[in-house]
């Protein structure tokens, strides 16, 4: 009993230390406690300034365990984490032996580790770190590492490549944080203002040995059969939820049709995370309650695992599903009877009429593609030929390897300055530094596939596009989003009638917020009259600010320009100057305006026309030379 | 099955739920001394299986996780610089060499996340795997087990080219139990870890005597290969090449793999089932050899084709 009291005391102190550091953010705090009790890793994702780092640091201090802190940047190298290269010299009969060895780095001795801004690190540099996290072992040596807490900004706000669900799978706990203001949590915001005070250094809660005992005891809590049963049901339903929305997750690769990429942000229900890890986290949850056995209510712990394992569009559903699982059996069974744990008020998902879906054969559900996307395979939405042709064009810019500090070493180049020294061949570097080689050492040239330039989609939303044409145009936009995503192109999206409306991300027209654009594309409203001048002008202006790589505009329209310069001479000139390829897609029965031909031919773009038929598919043809 | 192998198999069964084909393939690879490539999504236990099979066998073991900064010295051993004074005292000679370590001294190695290896490291590695020699020196390597992620739109792994994959005689796709919707496997998985929480923390000890491997390998050569089995093998290859249009462009049905290595694997399967004579059903190992060697669209047909020819 006294042991239990001690444990409760420690947990309370730890919680208090987190409370003292940050107001609100209860979910993240619970997540950290769960991670620590389960000896698992946690990933806190949230916008800048919501308290991620402060919380992680408070946690690492309060555990009282030996800790390490590393802040990531685009230039982070494996050596910084695992240790520097040492040259060891030993005398030998015939001369001297100089061997390269790795010195133990700061992360290797830590029990708790804070990995700040992990999402900023170049993805490729992380694999060594992730290996360390999951194996808790480096080069055959066991590490004391218990829990690591990483923080990161959401993929949309980061200027760098997003961490993939596969990489994040090592973090059992994943919590999405929101700023208090962003979440409109006015009462907590008020509390934050009231609690304004100098930071207090909290004492460590418990000794490392006590914690380890508690962690071990927690991980031996029994899990009765009914809890396992319920867990399996939750997993089955989670799987149904993500499969229905994103297609099969395991081998779904580029999507069935080749158009929609693997799912926005992807879903990952791996055996590791929802087998052993989920059980560990549930045991920790029971330990947090001071219980002697895991119960149904501990399934709530799954909530803290969802953030990046389920695409954002489905998160509300998934959370509702988990919440439902902790309910009384009657309520849960009732939810089961209606077929899904769908929560009301989810954003952007395809309409799922429960009655209708009940009548449909299950295969029908399978065809629905990535989150919130209309099904690209349905009749009337034959966008494939168009996308294939475009893909060929867009892909041209990306096959080349470009020099990039975050790339992989592929060849060698001469050293340019001292900052290169870390990438130098160590032996040559040493010889150079000890003045035995006149030439500077060779350094590794790091390269990665080109980021593919930028593509702007200009979508006509004038009144005549209302209805079927608009939904078709939406499919095209979604397809282009998928292409851009695969080619890692900056993507700009603009809707126009007589005016042009750009959708920017943090003030930038070209960005990689593919998920946000996916949502936008499905809900265009059509009104007004058509102008070409306004949209082309706006998009071309934006190209002035992006690197001179491959630049594309895709113009989707059904009408002749009735507002502005019908010949768009200024825009054509600028497009040629900037070497922007303008691909035009004319949708409609009438004659294609000549100006579209000129635009494409002058800039080297492709020309398409899509001809609607009364019933059956919309026919798309690439138009040849006239 | 050989008792020593049975112990290795039960070690795998004890730690891993499901994936029977992968476990069989791992044992087969070890016995036949062929390389194995496992491809699957993150978190489906491919690394764990590879490691258990390799560690459980008491052979000299090397584990390497590839990353984009993989240096050759990490794979092959320390780079050593030797300075010697020139005999006439006019200066010194500086030579660079590799002190064999890592893959050069291992008998079994696990090459984790092979698809992340930078090209430079990969080229040398694959040559070593193929020839089992470094420079002119033979190396003790018997089996390399590589794992990789399927190519998704993640930017960081690059597809291994088919010629590289050809070094791995056995090639398997691994899929997650939960993701593939196997309800019984999911239940077993949850039960296993609910009842034995310490399972995940266990460190495995070798369960197999190294002498047993030599014995098995010798036995392998003595397994009889009757004519009908050879006919069956050729018939499968004939159908693929003549009727299904597999050629040099779209597939990799090489003589080395299918006329030499295949025989070894067919014998190995018979041996694993405790027979000293191969039967038609042993042709099913071909399925594991064709995962990345026939065009994608033909893959679903392969098991059926083999079953038909083998009359299983």
The pLDDT tens digits for A584-615 are 888 877 778 888 888 888 888 888 888 776 66
Mutation target vs A (from B41, B119, B188; most A CBs, 10 A cutoff): B41
Average pLDDT, chain A: 76
Task: Determine the average pLDDT of the residues in A485-499.
Answer: 81
Q: How far is CA A84 from the centre of its chain?
A: 30
Mutation target vs B (from A250, A282, A391; most B CBs, 10 A cutoff): A250
CA distance A523 to A471: 9
Q: Give the three-class secondary structure for B51.
A: helix
The percentage of chain A sitting over the pLDDT mark of 70, rounded to a whole number, equals 75
- Tell me the pTM: 0.69
- pLDDT recorded at residue A294: 93
- Residue B9 Cα distances to A145, B19, B21, angstroms: 31, 12, 12
Tell me if A231 and B80 make a contact (CB, 8 A cut-off). no
CA distance A173 to A277: 9
| Triad B107, B110, B111: Cα angle to 5° | 120
- Residue A163 Cα distances to A362, A387, A421, B158, angstroms: 33, 27, 28, 16
The pLDDT tens digits for A51-78 are 899 999 999 988 888 889 988 876 776 6
- pLDDT recorded at residue B201: 66
What six digits make up the tokens of A325? 């699982």
Straight-line distance from the first to the last Cα atom of chain A, in angstroms, rounded to the nearest whole number: 89
Tell me if B193 and A410 make a contact (CB, 8 A cut-off). no
The pLDDT tens digits for B142-195 are 999 998 877 654 444 556 666 778 889 999 988 888 877 788 888 888 888 888
CB–CB of A403/A446 below 8 Å? Answer: yes
Whether residue A381 has pLDDT greater than 70? no
Tell me if B150 and A164 make a contact (CB, 8 A cut-off). no
Whether residue A193 has pLDDT greater than 80? yes
Window from A17-26, A149-158, A221-230, B84-93 with minimum mean pLDDT: A149-158
Window from A487-491, B4-8, B128-132, B153-157 with minimum mean pLDDT: B153-157
Instruction: State the virtual CA torsion across A277, A278, A279, A281 in degrees, nearest 10.
Output: 90
Tell me if B154 and A96 make a contact (CB, 8 A cut-off). no
- pLDDT recorded at residue B60: 86
What six digits make up the tokens of A466? 């209302």
Distance from B134 to chain A by nearest Cα, in Å?
20
Mutation target vs A (from B179, B196, B296; most A CBs, 10 A cutoff): B179
Task: Determine the average pLDDT of the residues in B6-33.
Answer: 90
- pLDDT recorded at residue A7: 83
Distance from B206 to chain A by nearest Cα, in Å?
16
Q: Which residues of chain B have a CB within 8 Å of the CB of A275?
A: 17, 177-178, 186, 189-190, 193
- pLDDT recorded at residue A350: 40
CB–CB of A301/A280 below 8 Å? Answer: no
Whether residue A572 has pLDDT greater than 50? yes
Distance from B265 to chain A by nearest Cα, in Å?
27
The pLDDT tens digits for A295-334 are 999 999 999 998 888 877 788 888 888 888 877 666 556 5
Tell me whether A276 touches chain B (CB under 8 Å).
Answer: yes
Name the pairing type of β-strands A619-622 and A607-611.
antiparallel
Tell me if B44 and A272 make a contact (CB, 8 A cut-off). yes
CA distance A591 to A594: 8
- Residue B49 Cα distances to A369, A607, B9, B52, B178, angstroms: 33, 52, 11, 5, 17
């Amino acid at each position: 009993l006294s042991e239990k009291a001690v444990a409760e005391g420690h947990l309370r102190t730890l919680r208090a230390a987190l409370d003292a550091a940050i107001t609100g953010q209860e979910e993240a705090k619970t997540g950290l406690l769960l991670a620590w009790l389960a000896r698992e890793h946690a990933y806190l994702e949230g916008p800048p300034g919501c308290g991620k780092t402060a919380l992680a640091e408070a946690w690492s201090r309060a555990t009282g365990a030996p800790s390490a802190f590393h802040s990531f940047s685009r230039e982070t190298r494996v050596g910084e984490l695992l240790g520097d290269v040492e040259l060891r010299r030993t005398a030998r009969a015939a001369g001297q032996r100089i061997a390269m060895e790795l010195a133990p780095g700061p992360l290797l001795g830590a029990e708790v580790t804070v990995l700040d801004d992990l999402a900023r690190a170049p993805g490729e540099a992380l694999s060594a770190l992730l290996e360390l996290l999951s194996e808790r072992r480096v080069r055959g040596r066991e590490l004391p590492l218990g829990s690591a807490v990483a923080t990161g900004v959401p993929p949309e706000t980061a200027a760098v490549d997003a961490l993939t669900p596969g990489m994040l799978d090592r973090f059992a706990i994943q919590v999405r944080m929101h700023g208090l203001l962003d979440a409109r949590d006015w009462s907590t915001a008020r509390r934050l203002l009231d609690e304004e005070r100098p930071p207090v250094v909290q004492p460590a809660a418990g000794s490392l040995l006590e914690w380890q005992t508690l962690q071990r005891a927690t991980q031996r809590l029994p899990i009765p059969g009914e809890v396992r049963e319920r867990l399996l049901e939750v997993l089955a339903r989670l799987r149904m939820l993500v499969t229905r929305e994103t297609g099969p997750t395991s081998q779904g690769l580029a999507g069935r049709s080749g158009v929609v990429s693997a799912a926005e942000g992807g879903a990952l229900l791996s055996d590791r995370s929802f087998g052993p890890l989920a059980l560990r986290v549930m045991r920790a949850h029971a330990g947090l309650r001071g219980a002697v056995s895991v119960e149904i209510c501990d399934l709530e712990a799954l909530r803290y695992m969802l953030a990046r394992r389920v695409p954002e569009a489905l998160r509300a559903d998934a959370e509702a599903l988990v919440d439902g699982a902790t309910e009384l059996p009657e309520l849960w069974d009732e939810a089961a009877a209606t077929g899904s744990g769908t929560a009301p008020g989810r954003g952007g998902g395809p309409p799922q009429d429960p009655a209708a879906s009940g009548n449909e054969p299950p295969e029908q559900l399978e065809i629905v593609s990535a989150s919130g996307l209309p099904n690209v395979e349905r009749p009337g939405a034959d966008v494939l030929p168009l996308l294939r042709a475009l893909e060929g064009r867009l892909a041209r810019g990306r096959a080349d390897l470009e020099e990039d500090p975050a790339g992989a070493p592929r060849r060698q180049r001469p050293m340019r300055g001292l900052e290169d020294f870390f990438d130098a061949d160590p032996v040559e570097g040493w010889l150079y530094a000890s003045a035995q080689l006149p030439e500077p050492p060779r350094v590794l040239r790091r390269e990665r596939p080109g980021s593919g330039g930028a593509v702007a989609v200009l979508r006509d939303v004038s009144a005549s596009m209302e209805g079927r044409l608009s939904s078709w145009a939406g499919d095209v936009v979604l397809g282009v989003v998928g292409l851009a995503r695969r080619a890692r192109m900056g993507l700009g999206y603009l809707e126009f009638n007589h005016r042009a409306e750009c959708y920017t991300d943090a003030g930038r027209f070209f960005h990689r917020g593919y998920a946000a654009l996916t949502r936008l594309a499905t809900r265009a409203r059509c009104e007004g009259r058509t102008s070409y001048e306004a949209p082309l002008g706006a998009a071309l202006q934006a190209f002035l600010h992006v690197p001179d790589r491959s630049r594309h505009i895709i113009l989707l329209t059904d009408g002749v320009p009735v507002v502005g310069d019908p010949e768009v001479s200024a825009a054509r000139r600028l497009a040629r100057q900037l070497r922007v390829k303008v691909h035009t897609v004319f949708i409609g029965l009438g004659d294609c305006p000549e100006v579209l031909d000129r635009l494409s031919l002058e800039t080297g773009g492709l020309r398409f026309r899509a001809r609607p038929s009364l019933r059956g598919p919309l026919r798309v043809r690439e138009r040849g030379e006239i | 099955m050989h008792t020593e192998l049975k112990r290795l198999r039960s070690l795998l069964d004890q730690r891993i739920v499901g994936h029977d084909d992968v476990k069989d393939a791992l044992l087969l690879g070890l016995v036949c001394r062929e390389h194995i490539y496992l491809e699957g999504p993150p978190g489906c236990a491919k690394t764990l299986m590879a490691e258990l099979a390799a560690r459980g066998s008491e052979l000299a073991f090397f584990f390497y996780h590839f990353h984009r900064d993989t240096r050759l010295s990490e794979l092959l051993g320390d780079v050593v610089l030797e300075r010697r004074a020139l005999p006439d005292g006019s200066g010194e000679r500086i030579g660079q060499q590799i002190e064999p370590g890592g893959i050069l001294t291992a008998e079994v190695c696990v090459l984790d996340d092979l698809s992340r290896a930078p090209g430079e490291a990969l080229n040398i590695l694959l040559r070593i795997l193929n020839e089992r020699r470094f420079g002119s020196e033979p190396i003790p390597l018997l089996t390399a087990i590589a794992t990789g992620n399927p190519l998704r739109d993640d930017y960081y792994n690059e597809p291994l080219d088919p010629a590289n994959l050809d070094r791995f005689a056995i090639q398997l796709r691994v899929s997650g139990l939960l993701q593939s919707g196997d309800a019984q496997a999911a239940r077993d998985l949850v039960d296993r870890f609910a009842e034995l929480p310490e399972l995940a923390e266990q460190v495995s000890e070798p369960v197999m005597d190294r002498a047993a491997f030599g014995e098995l390998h010798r036995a392998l050569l003595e397994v009889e290969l009757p004519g009908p089995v050879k006919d069956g093998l050729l018939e499968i290859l004939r159908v693929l090449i003549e009727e299904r249009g597999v050629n040099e462009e779209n597939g990799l049905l090489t003589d080395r793999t299918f006329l030499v290595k295949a025989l070894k694997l067919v014998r190995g399967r018979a041996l694993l089932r405790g027979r000293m004579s191969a039967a038609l059903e042993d042709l099913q190992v071909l399925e594991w050899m064709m995962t990345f060697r026939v065009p994608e669209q033909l893959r679903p047909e392969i098991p059926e084709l083999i079953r038909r020819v083998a009359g299983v």
